[in-house]
Each structure stands twice: as structure tokens, then as C-alpha cells.
Chains A and B, each alone.
Chain A
Amino acid sequence: MLEGILQGLTTAVSPMNLMMVVAGCFVGTFIGMLPGLGPISAIALMIPITYGLEPSTGLILMAGVYYGAIFGGSTSSILINAPGVAGTVATAFDGYPMAKKGQAGKALAIAAYSSFSGGTIATILLLVAAPSLAAVSLSFQSTDYFALMVLGLTAVAAFAGKGNVVKAILMTVLGLMISTIGTDQTQGIQRFTMGIPDLIDGISFLLLAMAAFALSEALLVVLRPKSDADRKKEMEAQSNLGSLKLTREEVKEMVPVIARSSVLGFFVGVLPGAGATIASFLAYGMEQRIAGEEKGKLFGTGSIRGLTAPETANNAACSGSFVPLLTLGIPGSGTTAIMLGALISYGIQPGPRLYIDNPTVFWSVIISMYIGNVVLLVLNLPLIPYIAKILSIPSTILTPMILFFSLIGVYFVSFNTFDIHLMVMFAVAAVGLRMLDFPLAPMLLGYILGGMMEENLRRALLINDDSWSFIYDRPLTLVILLIAAATLVMPYVMSKISIWFLSRVEKNEVK
């Protein structure tokens, strides 16, 4: 393991890779700050660039972008109350009130320090957790993998749907359906190509990710023009930041919050499907309760604890979500799903074998995450007043650029103009689904896991002489499948229990 760490370290600190971390954090902050564009779009926009790079360099770039985008999202949440990402919604609860009080600089500094500490603590946990989980998962067979993929899909559906599980599962199924278009991987039979030769190779993951996220988000900006009042708000916010310094008391108040929220965030991030959004809300809620009545009341009005908790937790969860990706090959969130897709297109299969076959990739990613944290703190924080100027670039110029980057990102990989038309179709469909409040992340995950799931299932059946008995014959498979079923039923049961509980409490109060 030590050898691996050293190998990773040498890869991560090579000048090229260091440059990539810095560039990634920077570009990520830039894109993440644009209202509407989140880390998924940011990474999707980066993929065409990473195609020409070494796998570890490409992954390092994407990890940097991921961090940067989360940080950029916090910046726009704090400055203009417009979270670019769901994971930073909780940041706006206390960050924006602080900015309104003229303490925007302080809020940004708190966000940066919390993100740094959360990310760092989580990276250390990752350093311990990932190899041990990878060692366990080496004994997994294709039947277990099939079960794990089912678990990944159900978990994402259960968490991503904002309470509406059916919608999320439906979107996962849609993603699985899209993954069946093209030539069948094991038998070479064409499916759903409708005689169109461009569809024989299937729909590329890059095209789907770009169209469903970057392009559709840009189209939504076109559809929902900003009012003059909003623009004025943005101009004011970036011209009036205030001091970036924190007092000793404020730091003292932050430390215990960081310690709790980072551990919580990490473990929530490890759970497939949970991710940064849930982690930040959980941490916010937990801290509000711990803070006691007096300080708890300050939450929502510009409380330091209320800003520290979600910021720490969402960054810790980002690191946590790399555990299932790197060790099991199961992405825990939309963002890691995109990275999984990118890894597969490099010809690297994430999972337990990654740790053995490509230790350099495995460790350099983990170490570059730590470097990314340092970069964010050392480079991005002092530059925030300048980066914030991006909010003043009019969307009339930015939006066409995002459209152009998305289209050309796909076109320059395939050089097939059919892809551009397909993207427009998918983007329009994605805009429609967004308007109807259907989550798109489960769809992407279904698409990415679909092919792998089918292959593993088929392999499992082949090994078992076409018998489905492996589902209950192999205890590990059965246990994972049962957990998958439980994650689907859990939200429903939990809501029933909480309703029952509340009604009892009310009854008692009436008595």
C-alpha cells in the first residue's frame, strides 16, 4: 500500500498533473459559479479535453474541476443566492444573509476554510477506506456485481428523487432503455437502431451527458431570461465583498462543527446515491440541533455554524463518493457517474481490479484530491474578487459559448454531424423533463450502469447454466439484492413512520 501511495504521489506531483489540478480547480470554479451550471456540466465539458491525456492526468483534471465547481457553486450561492448546484443550496441559507450584511468576504472565507478542512479530513478517511474496501471486493463475482449495480441504481433512485421515488426509478429505467440502443455487447445483434447507421455504435455517453446537462442547462438560461433586477443584484454583489479575514472566536466556533460535519459528510457520500446534497442538509440540521436553542435560532440569519456545516459536509461527501467509484466501480452520484463513463472510455474498468492493475491511477487521484483542496484554498480564495467578475459577463455572450463548447466537444470527438442533431433532440427532451421536475441524474446513471449490468447478468447466467438460482444460492448476492430492495422501500416506510410518529406527538400534546 505504501508503495502505491508513493507511486501515486510521484504521479500526482509531476509538473503536468499539478498544472492540471490547478487548471481544473480554476476552470471548475469558473463554470460552477455560473448560475445553472453544476459540477456535472463542468466535468462533461472537460471530457473531450481529457481524451487526449493520460488516464491519471485526465482523472486528476476532472477531480480538480469537481472540487472547483462545488466551490464555485458556493460562491454564487453566497453572493447572489443562486446555487449552481443542489449540493450548495444549504450554503445559501446562511451565506446569503451574511453577504447581505456586507460580510460576503467573510462568508466566502468560511466557505473556503470549511471546504478545505472537510475535503482534507475526508481524503484521509478515503485513504484508509478505499484500499480495505477494494481488498474485500476482490472476492466479488459477476453475480455480486450484478447485484451491486442493482443496488447502485435503486439507491440513486431512492435518494435522488426528492421524495418521489417512482419518478426517479422511471428515469433510471429510461436511462437503461437508452443504453440498449446500438449493438448488443455480447452477441453483436443490433437493437433499436431503426436502420440508422449512425446508431449502430449506440449513443455515446459523452453525447448524452453533454446534451442532458450542459446543453439543456444553457437552453434553460435562454428560455428564462434574467430580469434587470437580478442583473443589478449580481453587479452589486461582486463589487462589495468586504474583508476576507476571520477572528479567533469565529475559528474556534468553526472547529468542532468541521470535525462533526466532515465525518458525517464522508459517510453519507460513501453511500451510493446519497451524495453532497443530502450530506449538506443533514449536517445543517444536525448542527442546528446541537447548537442549542439560542444559537440554533441564528441559523438562517447568517450563522457561522450554519454556513460551516453544509460547506464542510458537501466537500467531504464529494471525497466520500469516490470510495464506491474507485473500489466497486459503482458511482454514487451523477458526477461520479460521469467520471465512471470517462474512465471506461479510457479502457480502464473501475472496481477492485483498478487498485491492483492501475495503482498509479488509483492513488494519484486520491492524492490529487488533497492537492486540489490546497489549490482551492491558496489560489482560489485570494482570487475570488476577480473570479466573481465572471458574474458580470452578460449571458448574451456566455450562453452561446456554452452551446458552442457542448456541441463542439462532442463533434470534435466523433466528427459526425449526426451527433449535433441528436444532441439538440436530447437537449430539448431534457429541458422538457426538467420543466416537469423529473431528475436527470438517475437517467445518466442508468445509462452508464445499464451495459455493465446486462453483461454481468449474462455472465452470471452463463456460469450458472442459464439458471436464475444464483440470486438465492450465493449469500453475498442475495444480501446485496435484499439491501437494494430495502433502499427502495425505506423512503416510503420512513415517511409512514414519521407521519405516525407526528400524529402520536400531536395526540399527546392535545391530552
Chain B
Amino acid sequence: MLTSDRIGALVLLAFSIGYGILLFQIPLLPFQRTAAFTAQTLPKALSVMGIVLSLILLFTSRNHDMPDVKGYNWLNGLMICGLMLIYGFTVRPVGFIISTGLFLILCEYVLGERRWKILVFSTMPVVLFFWFLMNEVLGVYVAPLPGFIMEMGG
């Protein structure tokens, strides 16, 4: 039966095996091969420990709890993750103010806020404040607008 513990054990087992395979790509110089401790030593030990421990958990776990995911709003979670990824791609080319403003407004929209006044006034002041804080107070330049508009302004 796939309990929480067993699912976790299988995932971590796969991770440890993957880690173990990748560790052989760590380059070693010839004279290092005979040393007692090389860049591979700790990863090797960890990989073995990870595999052994996840196998122990897999076969000895007596915990019958199943992951409790009833009533989870998967769609919202997925959309928020998507928005964060898009934010990562847009924050530089589109500029801080527009991308962050849109990110916050869309997050609130996904979470169920529909009143546009709240959408705008709960987010934009925060965005502008942060931009001001970085540029004026801390002296770190953050491009506020898309590159082509900034260029037009000279």
C-alpha cells in the first residue's frame, strides 16, 4: 500500500540514486584518486546513506497515514506557480513596475479577488514603494519599465 511514508521513501530513493549516478561525473585529478578524502568522498557516503535510509523507511514504516489532500485547490496552486515562473521570465525585459504589478494583481485575481479597486490599490503602492526603496534609498538601480520605452525616453 502506498502510504505517505512509502511515497516519500520512493521519491527520495530515486533522488539518491540519481545523485549517486551524477557523482561519478565529478572530475578528479590523477593524484587525488588515492587520497583519503576527495571531492567525491562525501557525495558517495551521502548517496549510500540516502539509498539505505529510504529502503529502511520503505520496508519498515508502520505508519498507515495517506497524504490528506481532500479539498485542495490544485488549479489555484498550479496557476500561482505558473505566475511565479512567468514573473521570473518577465521581471527583467518588461521592467520591475509593470511585471510586479501584473504579477500581484493576477495572483489576487486567481485567489478570488474581483473588485478592481482593491486589486489596484492593494498592490500598486507596494510595488512603487519597493521600487522607490531600491532606487532612491538603497541606491540599487532596478529598471522600472520595458527597455524600449526607456530607450525612447532617452
Contacts and interface: CB of A to CB of B under 8 A. Distances in A.
Contacts of B63: 164
Interface string A388-413: 00000011110111011001100110
A128 interface: no
A397 B109 CA distance: 10
B71 A224 contact: yes
A223 B28 contact: no
Nearest to A446: B46
B111 A436 contact: no
A190 B23 CA distance: 11
A201 interface: no
Contacts of B28: 189
A52 B139 CA distance: 11
B73 A192 contact: no
Chain A interface residue number, banded: 35 or more
Contacts of B26: 189-192
Chain B interface residue number, banded: 35 or more
A222 B77 contact: yes
Given A222-B77, A407-B84, A467-B36, A396 B113 contact: yes
B110 to A, nearest CB: 8
Nearest to B9: A170
A167 B8 contact: yes
B130 A170 contact: no
Query: Secondary structure of the A side of the interface?
Result: helix
A99 interface: no
A369 to B, nearest CB: 28
B19 interface: yes
A187 B112 CA distance: 52
A191 B54 CA distance: 23
A412 B134 CA distance: 9
Nearest to A191: B26
A403 B80 contact: yes
A478 interface: no
Interface in B50-73: 50, 53-54, 56-57, 60-61, 63, 65, 67-69, 71-73
B123 A424 contact: no
A52 B138 contact: yes
A458 interface: yes
A219 interface: yes
Contacts of B61: 166
A127 B43 CA distance: 40
A449 to B, nearest CB: 12
B126 interface: yes
Interface in A406-462: 407-408, 411-412, 417-418, 420-421, 423-424, 427-428, 431-433, 435-438, 454, 457-458, 461
A424 B85 contact: yes
Contact of A436 (B7, B89, B140): B7
Nearest to A432: B11
A433 B57 contact: no
A435 B50 CA distance: 20
Contact of B57 (A52, A166, A177, A192): A166
The 5 nearest A-B residue pairs measured at CB: A420-B88, A400-B107, A466-B36, A436-B8, A396-B111
Given A187-B39, A396-B108, A461-B37, 7 more contacts: A52-B138, A170-B9, A173-B50, A173-B53, A396-B112, A435-B4, A461-B36
9 contacts: A164-B63, A170-B50, A191-B39, A397-B113, A417-B91, A420-B87, A427-B81, A435-B69, A436-B4
Interface of B: 4-5, 7-9, 11-12, 15-16, 19, 22-23, 26-28, 32, 35-39, 42-43, 46-47, 49-50, 53-54, 56-57, 60-61, 63, 65, 67-69, 71-74, 76-77, 80-81, 84-85, 87-89, 91-92, 100, 103-104, 107-108, 111-113, 118, 122-123, 126, 130, 134, 138, 140, 142
